[in-house]
Amino acid sequence: MTEQRGNLAGHFPAADGIRGLAVLVVLVAHALVMFIPATRPYLGGTGKIGVWLFFVLSAFLLTNKFLKNGLNIKSVSEYFFGRALRILPLFFIASVFYFYLGYYDAETLRNVLAFQQGFAHLWTIPVEFKFYFILPILLIAFQAIRNRFGVFSVVLLATLIATAFRYFYPASLLQENSIETRWYISSFIVGILLSYIIRNLNTPLRKYGFYIFALMFLLLLIIPSFCDLITGRVIVPNLATSYLSISIVWAIFIFLSVSDRGITSDILSSSLMRKIGNHSFSTYLAHWFVLTQLAEKHTNSIPMMLLSIVASLLLGAIIYFVFERNIETFRHRVQKAMTRPSK
């Protein structure tokens, strides 16, 4: 038990499982809307609940890595190289793939590759990739404040920054599937703050299953159709503009999940969920192709909808083993060489 705080400050066995949960949320939401058109008025935008989890988790893990390894020229250089190699090759392959299948024309392909335009689910990639350039700047400021005034000052400064972005870029003006990172800065800041909180709290590992499942039920209530069915009214009419509140719920979920030693930890740390999480980027990029192709021919077929979800996961695994794993092996090899002390 003496290693609990160290584990929470450095390694998170449930992280891959949480990533797997995020892609499953997106998959199921998109599959329901595409295969069962009658659900569209009730479930439209539900996949974004999974997207907000991706944003918070990404900011949390990347911040934790910086706080663990330090902020210097070598670590930042290694970080930028790693992020570029992690995202760009597969994104390029996916973008060209959708172009050759006729999902969009050459001009749209150029705009998508230049991060000037989104397409369907691909809009999230420019948002997150541009955040990668902002993160080190934020952390340099946060670390300077922390070293002089303490962690509470970081929390205060981050809250002020998030509030300022919400003021200058109000959610009411957010365009659907905007590729502009500035709209979602507050969600990423929630993930950054979560990393600072976990590293500075001596949180014991215990069973948090009840609270985690309560949070999951709260997220279900956020879905307009489910909320209307249970309560007779809609609490959150537009999921796309509720990214901050949903991000905060997800941050609490992540906090409890990485601190849990009960059934939730067992599920998220299971081999299946970790594999889904490891393949999540490939699955996310490819699932739109599988769903659109099958939904067009099998509308209102629940068996085919379930098959499409399984097929998306299988295609994601294939892409992972054919492309992503080799790219990741090369990336880790280069990053290891970059961090090796010079003689």
Under 8 Å between Cβ of 158 and 189: yes
pLDDT at 304: 95
What tokens were used for 211?
């609270």
- Burial (Cβ within 10 Å: 0-12, 13-18, ≥19) of residue 12: buried
CA distance 257 to 18: 8
Contact status, residue 236 vs residue 270, Cβ threshold 8 Å = no
Give the span between the Cα atoms of 274 and 327, in whole angstroms.
19
Helices (H), the chain: 4-10, 15-35, 40-43, 47-69, 73-100, 106-113, 124-149, 151-168, 185-200, 209-222, 224-231, 243-258, 263-268, 271-278, 280-297, 302-319, 325-339
Task: Please give the model's pTM, rounded to 2 decimal places.
Answer: 0.90
Whole-number pLDDT of residue 7: 46
User: Cα separation of 90 and 71, whole Å?
Assistant: 28
Q: Which of 184, 34, 185 is nearest to 120 (CA)?
A: 34
pLDDT of residue 341: 61
| Domain positions in the chain | 4-339
Look at residue 74 in the predicted model and tell me its pLDDT: 86
Beta bridge partners of 260: 206
**Could you tell me the sign of the dihedral formed by the alpha carbons of 115, 120, 121, 127, in that order?**
positive
For tokens 């014991």, the residue is 204
pLDDT along the chain (343 residues), means of 10: 41 87 94 88 81 95 92 89 92 95 94 93 95 95 91 91 89 86 94 91 79 86 75 71 89 91 88 94 96 93 95 96 90 74 56
Q: Give residue 237's pLDDT.
A: 67
pLDDT tens for each residue of 56-84: 999 999 999 999 888 888 889 889 999 99
**Looking at residue 318, what is its pLDDT?**
96
